[in-house]
Amino acid sequence: MLLKRFIEEESTEKFDLIIVGGGITGAAVAYIAAARGLSVVLFEKKDYGGATSSATSKLIHGGLRYLANGELKLVRESLRERRILGNIAPNFVYSLPFLMPMYRRWKGNIWKMLAGMYIYDALSYDKKDTWDKSKRLQNHKLVSYRKTIRLEPNLKMEDLRNAFYFFDYQSIFPERLTLAFIKSAADYGARVSNYTPVEGFVFGEDNRITGVKVRDTFTGATKEVYGELIVNCGGTWADKILNMAAGKVSTTHKVKRSEGIHIITKKIAGHHVVSLQTDTGGHMMIMPWRDHSLIGTTDKEFMGDPDDYRVSGESIDEIINNVNTYFGRKISREDIIHAYGGLRPLVDDQTKGSYETSRKYEVYDNATDGIGGMITVEGGKYTTSRSLAREVLKLISTKLNRILDDSVSDNLYLSGCEIRDMRQFMIRQHLNYKDFSRNTVEYVSRNYGTESKLVFQIARDDRRFAEVISHDGEILAEVVFAIRYESAKTLRDIMLRRTGTGTIGNPGKAIIDKVAAVAAEMLCWDEKRRAEEIVLMMRVYELF
């Protein structure tokens, strides 16, 4: 399906819902609402899933550490949603083993940890109730010292006792998973538009919001769009949107922001996540990803303007120091291939530090603040985004005075993910596309699912686009597909959120030039625009 930008269309349609924000929360709300027959339009000021939704640890997890706060309800919800995402997006979500070593110096209590593991297993009682048998997860194991060092010989050996071995899920490409929700919403008739910031609101009687004022970033064209209800899914920017809507009205809701940094290095651990506790009570993970190690994350409160946020050298050094302190293999700045970071929105009703703050969410009716016609979503985490959207739908049902329930999102595949058995699907893919390398078939098939046939057809129709442009087999046809079908508008959209050519670090000038040349031809960029896009892409890799 062709993903069009609503801002470019001539339309005077009035919508049931106007969703502000195209991260995973806004995407999930748009999908569930559109599937229930509501007319929906979604506006994202930059690119879909381009901020917090792309700055993740690439995990779909139950939140084991939330047990320490006694948040059994949140853990159960997360475990249920973990299973559902594995069902509805089988090509994006896969089981991943975790190794959590126990040390004699460990501040926690090993018996408390053992009890927590049994509770975690008990709360995930339905983890084997998966559509695809390969998605079923095993219960935890406590493995001996000898087996621990066989599994991970690079662990720090001093005071090592044993380790817990358990499973969660990994999301191999969160940006494309977010896009799958956007596409699913569009399949049900939702209108969507990236690079369309909301710059103001339209007010009716009793100061009730009746619409939004939006602008096309590329053309400068503006439009007023009207709707019955505005859903503020701005995430990290939710309070800024609320303040824009409030004007002189005093609001009480503030977003607490937590910084999360990750670095990517050459592979320094095995094929499982190594989860390590720090002396301060925090945790650090070394995760396998695309034949590299993804290491993170930091978790500290950010007090500034989210528009000014940048990855800092201090935060990167914090991760390096944690690796060198708690892992057996040392790294330095020179080992970093890439780093990225983002801000997590947290519910600001606690005095705890950001690490201890709950990952719960809240849905507010802003009429209580004197702002009619708007509801705001705060907090949450990627794993529970679908569940959060269902809670939003309940309030929408009340506000619109309609009977609405979500009977779709937990039992239908997301767009492009209609695969009952991943193993059989991959076998068929390798048989059908023998003219491509094994790496290419693996990568394209998993990241594009049932839409991969279009990518392969582009490459077959013009062999220029069959050229491999990354170590794991990506091809230029993906660039064409991103522009033609997925509303990619910038070089960063293409290289960071539609394809993975830029997410593993700087691919080199030759590859960037090739991708930019295809984009320039298809998007009608002149030489100046092409050069500007390359400069902006290169800034992504300016870490220090």
How distant, in Å, are the alpha carbons of 91, 185, 208, 217, 466 from that of 30?
22, 6, 22, 22, 35
- Among left, alpha and beta (phi > 0; psi -120 to 50; other), residue 49 is left
Sign of CA dihedral 303, 304, 308, 313: negative
CA gap 30, 38 in Å, rounded? 9
Phi, psi torsion values for 493, nearest 5 degrees:
-55, -50
In the prediction, which pLDDT does 353 show? Answer: 47
Q: For the chain, 544 residues long, give each residue's pLDDT as a single digit of tens.
A: 789 999 999 888 999 999 999 999 999 999 999 999 999 999 999 999 998 889 999 999 998 988 988 899 999 999 999 999 999 999 999 999 999 999 886 656 778 889 999 999 999 999 999 999 999 999 999 999 999 999 999 999 999 999 999 999 999 999 999 999 999 999 999 999 999 999 999 999 888 999 999 999 999 999 999 999 999 999 898 889 998 988 755 555 667 888 889 999 999 999 999 999 888 778 899 999 999 999 998 888 888 888 888 888 889 999 999 999 999 999 999 999 999 998 888 765 544 444 444 457 789 999 988 899 999 998 878 999 999 999 999 999 999 999 988 778 999 999 999 999 999 999 999 999 999 999 999 999 999 999 999 999 999 999 999 999 999 999 999 999 999 999 999 999 999 999 999 999 999 999 999 999 999 999 999 999 999 999 999 999 987 6
Beta bridge partners of 266: 292
Do 63-171+256-347 and 422-539 come out as alike in CATH topology?
A: no
- Count of all residues that appear for the chain in the document: 544
Instruction: Decide yes or no: CATH 2.40.10.220 for domain 63-171+256-347.
Output: no
CA gap 184, 35 in Å, rounded? 9
> Please, which residues have CB within 8 angstroms of residue 103's CB and are 6 or more apart in sequence?
156, 158, 159, 160, 161
In the prediction, which pLDDT does 351 show? Answer: 41
Closest CA to 69 of 379, 359, 349, 385: 359
What pTM was estimated for this model as a whole?
0.95
How distant, in Å, are the alpha carbons of 102, 210, 311, 414 from that of 225?
56, 9, 35, 28
Encoding tokens for residue 28? Answer: 């999930």
Domain locations in the chain as residue ranges: 6-52+175-254+359-400, 63-171+256-347, 422-539
In the prediction, which pLDDT does 250 show? Answer: 57
In the prediction, which pLDDT does 349 show? Answer: 55
How distant, in Å, are the alpha carbons of 265, 296, 308 from that of 342?
19, 12, 11
Collapsed DSSP state (helix, strand, coil) of residue 362 = strand
CA gap 531, 537 in Å, rounded? 10
Encoding tokens for residue 347? Answer: 């519910």
In the prediction, which pLDDT does 356 show? Answer: 45
CA gap 345, 382 in Å, rounded? 11
Determine the CATH number of domain 6-52+175-254+359-400: 3.50.50.60
Encoding tokens for residue 466? Answer: 């069959």
CA gap 468, 508 in Å, rounded? 14
Encoding tokens for residue 153? Answer: 């010989």
Which 8-state DSSP code applies to residue 366? Answer: G
Cα angle: 114, vertex 116, 117; to 5 degrees: 65
Does residue 232 contact residue 242 with C-beta atoms inside 8 Å? yes
CA gap 70, 67 in Å, rounded? 5
Sign of CA dihedral 20, 22, 23, 27: positive
Encoding tokens for residue 45? Answer: 């000021």
CA gap 163, 160 in Å, rounded? 8
Closest CA to 534 of 479, 500, 495: 495
Collapsed DSSP state (helix, strand, coil) of residue 301 = strand
- Which is it for strands 273-277 and 93-103: parallel, antiparallel or unpaired? parallel
CA gap 275, 117 in Å, rounded? 14
The CATH architecture that domain 422-539 belongs to is: Orthogonal Bundle (1.10)
